[in-house]
Amino acid sequence: MVEVRGKSPSPAVPGRAKRRSSLVNSRVAAALIVAFVLAGCGGPSGVSASSVGVDSGYGTRTVTDCTGTKSTFTAAPKRVAAVTTSVLEFLLALGLKDKIVGVQAVAPGAFPADLQQIADRMPKLGGEYVPGNFVPVQREQLLSANPDFVVGGWPSNFDATKGALTQAELAQRGLKSYFALSASCARTTPVTDLSAVYQDIENYGTIFDVKGAADAMVSKMKNTVGRVQDKVKHAVRPKVFSYSWEDGGAGNAYAVGNQNLSNAIISQAGGKNIFDDVNAVYGDVGWEQVVARNPDVIVLEVFGKRTQAEFDQVITTAENFFTGNPALRNVTAVRNRKFIPVLAETYYLGGTRNADAVESLAKALHPDAFE
């Protein structure tokens, strides 16, 4: 039995990974293989309602986010705060950089090179990037940017107990907000496709009046995924275990459940997540359960790095753990050294490169189908 994370540990399940709390209740890709990786608020602290304005040609538009929060717009936002980098890639790719007034610190190598340069120059709301530091943008920092729209993707982004402003508090100040569907949105059903990603893109197109660009982005992604699925539809699905050494792993076992976006990446690439029966984003397991499910492939999620050498070092560390652990040596993936590195930022949360991730992982799982 796999225990859903966030519940009290079971004595029968040792070696639990300690993941950030925002991922426990809710947490593809481009499974980019290593070579691909580098290739208004009335009041003194907000924007007054009159400064947001009304665009007579814009009309009235309403969108609904992950939490069910409905926001109605009569003009496109002009001062946007992106309080997590998982939503920033969408906004930059849609050409909205001039509307962004502040961002959470961005990891080096998290985005494609052109977008990374833009992101690195943007005003930071949370200081410089520190690996493993998941403190949300604090309310004072956020309000200092004087935003009229706040976009997040993790529960902690709007968690008052962690120093952030809740969506209700933002609304009280006249500020609209959006909790993305494709980052760490709590779900009740398995994630088996990229529909949440497409919906986020379409919502941004609606909000910012860039429907043409959003539609084109979605269409391109759907075409990529469709092309991949045509190639792998008759292939035998290898069993896949997905693991991040950096983000809570470090030798501890955990399950990537069926509510994690990477479950969809694996499935659409022609694989089978070995923990696709875990009805959660993440679940607590022991290594004996990984051994029992005997994956054919281990996907190693690695966060963006400044250099290829830094990226490769994380891969080496993780591989050495698996190959050097006597309890895991007979797992098929370990015995055959079938490790597939992916860029984490493209794999476990929504982004513009998710379809490319599907294709990259499919090529690694089914190379013969792409000859």
Q: What is the pLDDT of residue 218?
A: 98
pTM: 0.83
Q: Which letter, b or e, does each residue of 155-176 get, where b requires 16 or more Cβ atoms within 10 Å of its Cβ?
A: bbbbbeebebbebeebeebbbb
Q: Is the dihedral of CA 171, 174, 175, 180 positive or negative?
A: positive
pLDDT over 70 at 72, yes or no: yes
Mean pLDDT of 208-223: 98
Q: Note the helical H segments in the chain.
A: 21-24, 34-38, 49-52, 85-93, 113-120, 139-144, 167-172, 195-208, 211-232, 261-268, 287-293, 308-324, 332-335, 354-365
Q: What is the pLDDT of residue 306?
A: 86
| Whole-angstrom distance, CA of residue 341 vs CA of residue 311 | 9
pLDDT tens figures, 109-152: 889 889 999 999 999 997 666 655 668 899 999 999 999 999 99
Q: What is the pLDDT of residue 51?
A: 38
pLDDT over 80 at 7, yes or no: no
Q: What is the pLDDT of residue 101?
A: 97
Q: Which letter, b or e, does each residue of 16-51 get, where b requires 16 or more Cβ atoms within 10 Å of its Cβ?
A: bbebbbbbbebbbbbbbbbebbeebbeeeebbeeee
pLDDT over 80 at 344, yes or no: yes
Mean pLDDT of 355-371: 96
Mean pLDDT of 9-26: 36
pLDDT over 80 at 203, yes or no: yes
Coil, strand or helix: which one is 300?
strand
How does DSSP classify residue 247?
I
pLDDT tens figures, 253-311: 989 999 999 999 999 999 999 999 999 888 889 999 999 999 999 999 998 888 999 99
Answer whether 340's CB lies under 8 Å from 364's CB: yes
Neighbours of 245 (CB within 10 A): 20
As a whole number, the mean pLDDT across the chain is 85
Q: What is the pLDDT of residue 34?
A: 37
pLDDT tens figures, 73-107: 999 999 999 998 889 999 999 999 999 999 988 88
Q: What is the pLDDT of residue 29?
A: 36
- The domains located in the chain, with CATH, are 3-36+237-370 (3.40.50.1980), 40-220 (3.40.50.1980)
Band of residue 249 on the pLDDT scale cut at 50, 70, 90: low
Percent of the chain with pLDDT over 70: 82
Which of 331, 304, 301 has the alpha carbon at shortest distance from 318?
301
pLDDT over 50 at 348, yes or no: yes
Q: How many residues does the chain have?
A: 371
pLDDT tens figures, 27-60: 333 333 333 433 333 332 333 333 345 666 899 9
pLDDT tens figures, 296-319: 999 999 988 889 999 999 999 999
